[in-house]
Amino acid sequence: MKLVAAGRVGVGTRRVVLGVTLGAVLLSGCARFDDRASSPFTTEPVWQDADQGTTTPKVPPSTAKRPDLPCVDPDPAVVVSCLDTTGGLVALPDGGSALVAERLTGRILKVVATDEGVPPEPVEVARLDVDPTGDGGLTALALSPTYGEDGLIYAYVTTPSDNRVVRISTSDAGGAPKPILTGIPKGPNGNRGGIDFHTVSRMLVLTGDAGNPSAAADSGSMAGKLLSVESPGPGANAAVVASGIGVAGGVCSDHKDSIWITDRTATEDRLQRIGPDGVAVKAWSWPDHPGVAGCAAASDGVAVALTNQKALALATADKNTHAVTAAPSLLSQDKYGRLDGATLGGDGNIWAATVNKTDGQPNQYDDRVVRIPPPSGGNGSGPD
């Protein structure tokens, strides 16, 4: 089977073709758009038969990266090294770059992949004031559906008083971020959040329980919820889509039938699906707590970054029922350490960000953004 992943805008002029084996999914990243056409969304990634004449892009061969530079990882799959602890990752429309957040510093950096020579230094796009205590700080990024026209970036941040979603304009250098959704409860933990767009005008916000599971069950609290924000602007209102969220992992939409959310509870880590009926259904659970984090979705599956299990989990969903009936396979296990963010780059690889500095066993190159190619054989389980 082959999966053809299309950019969310301008798909007629640019398609990324990915070869995968049955039981492995390659997925579109959350909030990633192509700015070469005005239409905000196009057909979501779908499975296609193997006789479509497609090919599998591969991570480029090792290049002449200078070993004398301490922050240039010799692994050709690494986009950038020596970051602070990451907190969010989203691919940019040009196909070869992404924005990565640093959770503790509040910086948003543009990083660029290169196939030859020394990679360019990260460029600081914005820096936000955040409270990084506990698991708070700058924990999620999303692009406006019309990013090519407006240059707007949305971020989920922790402040001294609350968790909130803010908006940054790349055309207004030095401009203050505009608060979009404020007053999300803050606690000693459970402050992490997620953002994605389901339609051009509907933003999804996943909030943690702020260390208080009872708040997640309270319909009057924004803690521990999946929220829907229509036409997100300053002072926007939010409607509750799902409740009972523990420590938030990520939210990602296929822009058609499915919204996927991940979270961690005291008894299990979960992958849930919200269909057109608005009902949250548990698609898969892990009682061994692999540390579900950011996700990326297609019409027939989802990829989930795992921190504790140090891998990327690929869950295949039935194309008709959307049920996940087989255990998610693992990709790049133990290769880069703890993974947190996941997005699909325009080069056909899944891009992921590591979080080894705070909780893992960092090496001289951590933390990093890496490109993980789709499996070309086998079932994708175990280290590659």
Question: How far is residue 201's CA from residue 185's CA, in Å, rounded to a whole number?
Answer: 25
Q: How confident is the model at residue 62 (pLDDT cuts 50, 70, 90)?
A: very low
Does position 1 have pLDDT exceeding 70, yes or no? no
The residue with tokens 């401009």 is 175
pLDDT at residue 60, rounded to an integer: 40
Can you tell me which residue has the tokens 């849930």? 272
Average pLDDT of the chain to the nearest whole number: 82
Greater model confidence, 138 or 59: 138
Cβ(21)–Cβ(1) under 8 Å? yes
Cα(263)–Cα(271) distance, integer angstroms: 7
Please give the pLDDT value at position 321.
87
Specify the higher pLDDT residue, 211 or 303: 211
- Whether the CA torsion 61, 62, 64, 65 is positive or negative: it is positive
21-25, 102-106, 222-226: least confident range? 21-25
The pLDDT of residue 35 is 32
The candidate with the shortest Cα–Cα distance to 221, out of 263, 179, 183, 264, is 183
Q: Confidence band (pLDDT; 50, 70, 90) for 107?
A: very high
Q: Is the pLDDT of residue 38 over 50?
A: no
Does residue 378 register a pLDDT over 70? no
Q: Whose CA is closest to 189, among 134, 244, 246, 140?
A: 134
- Residue 384, amino acid: D
Cα separation, 121 vs 111, whole angstroms: 7
**Least reliable range by pLDDT among 20-29, 140-149, 285-294, 373-382:** 20-29
Measured between alpha carbons, how far is 205 from 232 in angstroms, rounded to an integer?
Answer: 11
Q: In angstroms, rounded to a whole number, what is the distance separating the alpha carbons of residues 29 and 277?
A: 23
2, 20 Cβ separation under 8 angstroms? yes
Q: Which pLDDT tens digit goes with each residue over 247-262? A: 999 999 988 889 999 9
Tell me the two tokens of residue 358: 């705070």
**Tokens 């402040």, residue located:** 159
Residue 349, pLDDT score: 83
Helices first, then strands: H and E counts in the chain: 3, 27
- Could you tell me the pTM of the whole model? 0.83
pLDDT of the residue at 69: 61
CA distances (Å), origin 54, targets 5, 19, 20, 24, 57: 12, 7, 11, 17, 10
Q: Of the given ranges (14-28, 170-184, 229-243), which has the lowest mean pLDDT?
A: 14-28
Is the peptide bond prior to 218 cis by the omega test (within 30 degrees of 0)? Answer: no
User: What tens digit of pLDDT does each residue of 202-255 get?
Assistant: 999 999 999 999 999 999 999 999 999 999 999 899 999 999 999 999 999 988
CA distance 222 to 215: 8
The pLDDT confidence band at residue 29, using thresholds 50, 70 and 90, is very low
User: Closest by alpha carbon to 223, among 245, 202, 204?
Assistant: 245
Q: Quick one: tokens of 173?
A: 């250098």
Assigned token pair, 50: 């193997």
Q: Give pairs for 58-66: CB < 8 Å, separation 24+.
A: 58/373, 58/376, 59/349, 59/371, 59/373, 60/115, 63/114, 63/115, 63/116, 63/117, 64/116, 64/117, 65/117, 65/118, 65/119, 66/118
Please choose, from the candidates 358, 44, 17, 360, the residue with its C-alpha nearest in 3D space to the C-alpha of residue 199.
44
Residue 310, pLDDT > 50, answer yes
- The proportion of the chain whose per-residue pLDDT surpasses 70, expressed as a percent, equals 79
For 36-62, the DSSP string reads TSS-S--PPPEEE-GGG------PPPP
Task: Quote the Cα angle for 358-364-366, to 5°.
Answer: 45
Q: Which two tokens stand for residue 375?
A: 């499996």
pLDDT score at 256: 87
